[in-house]
Chain A
Amino acid sequence: MITFDSHSTDPYYNLAFEEFIFTRVREEDVFLLWRSTPCMVVGSYQNICREVRPARLWRMGIPVLRRISGGGAVYHDLGNLNYSCMTRQEGGVDYDRSLAPVLEALNDIGVPARKNRTSDIAIGEEKISGSAQRSAGGRLLHHGTLLFDADLGALEEISVRGKNDCVQTKGTQSAICTVTNIRPHLAEDMTVEEFRRRLLERMVPDAGDRRELTAEQIREVCRLRDEKYRSWEWTWGRTPAFTYEKCGSFAGAPFRAAYSAKQGIVADAAVECPAVDGTLAARLLNGARLCPEGFAEICETLAGERGPELLELLM
């Protein structure tokens, strides 16, 4: 088992770093540990507009990223430690085989963790880790979150109360689980850095197996970060087709908005409200790219100072 250190807490860089290693290291088993600043990460085939409230997250300054594995939306912050295991793909889908070494290492460190459901790790009945996989070209990527000292208030606000039931769509739905942090369950307290160091020592005991990317490889990771993970096409363009409908009130008047989106492009837009120019709204929205920045501009044109309020109703 070998490891690499990303030396970064940038979520875009870290997803590119993980994919780069997954596609480039073909023979050896790899174990990575990495942390990212606050962000929301959705599964490869999820509808962002249903799983999170994009406008609200944008206002909070929390980016939404799309990863290459399946499964549901997860919240990351610096109190959450992510791990990635990369091995040769042998046989069919089997989470137990991937989870066993991580569970054993956690138990060694003094975390009273056990497997729960298909792909979760729990303390008691509360989830501390969710995982997902990608299988490609004979290699398997298994990765998961480890809630160590994460902001559970933010996590709950964003991922549990942040669902959008105005969206009708295909795509993978996220499960909602009761979660807890690892730290308060430890017999002996430690920081997240200490936790990371001890977990790495158990998973990759030999210092000779700790590798570094070359400068050229880091440049390639940065290219992947910019061309894929920071691109609208990957994050928003891959949102499964959906229809949106919201009724409410805006500027003290009844409000209804509806649109559809395919490959991230809006069509069939209708905004019915005495306080909004419906013809202009339809013209600006139809053909627009799905993303909070673009929608915010449209809302400002339509409603001036009340733009942010309108945005919340449209996305």
Chain B
Amino acid sequence: MEKKLAMPKLRPEMTSGVLCAWLKEEGDPVEAGEPLYEVETDKVVNQIEATESGVLKKQLWEEGDQVAPGAPVAILETE
């Protein structure tokens, strides 16, 4: 089954964050709680953990892209 993981809202006024690094490549297995990517907003680098376990099927953004909170970031293939 495919699950979309969304960009979290890191503070109430957040309108977007920069996806600055992918920590997993497409095809990599991912455990819930494992770091998946990093987002920078307001001089804070936030390491974002996967909320589900599965295989990273698709990175929906490139490093450097501005992503709004709530927007899908990754597609995970789960059991």
Q: List A residues at the B interface (Cβ < 8 Å).
A: 43-45, 68-72, 92-95, 118-119, 131-137, 170-172, 238, 240-241
Contacts and interface: CB of A to CB of B under 8 A. Distances in A.
The 3 A-B pairs with the shortest beta carbon distances in the complex, nearest first, are A71-B43, A92-B11, A170-B64
Interface stretch (B24-32, B34-42, B52-60, B70-78): B34-42
Nearest to B35: A136
Contact of B45 (A45, A131, A171, A240): A45
A45 B20 contact: yes
Contacts of B44: 69-70, 93, 132-135
A45 B10 contact: no
Contact-size category for B: 20 to 34
16 contacts: A44-B20, A44-B21, A45-B40, A68-B45, A70-B40, A70-B41, A72-B43, A92-B11, A95-B42, A131-B43, A132-B43, A133-B44, A133-B45, A136-B46, A171-B64, A240-B64
Contacts, number: 75
Contacts of A118: 42-43
A119 B11 contact: no
A84 to B, nearest CB: 14
A137 B50 CA distance: 11
B48 to A, nearest CB: 9
B2 interface: no
B6 interface: no
Nearest to A137: B47
Contacts of B64: 170-171, 240-241
Contacts of B49: 137
Nearest to B20: A45
A250 B63 CA distance: 36
Given A137-B47, A170-B64, 12 more contacts: A43-B43, A45-B45, A70-B20, A70-B42, A70-B43, A71-B43, A118-B42, A134-B45, A134-B47, A135-B47, A171-B64, A172-B20
A137 B14 CA distance: 20
Given A44-B38, A119-B43, A240 B12 contact: no
A101 B47 CA distance: 25
B46 A135 contact: yes
B4 to A, nearest CB: 22
A2 B41 CA distance: 28
Contacts of B14: 92-93
B20 to A, nearest CB: 4
A137 B38 CA distance: 12
B5 interface: no
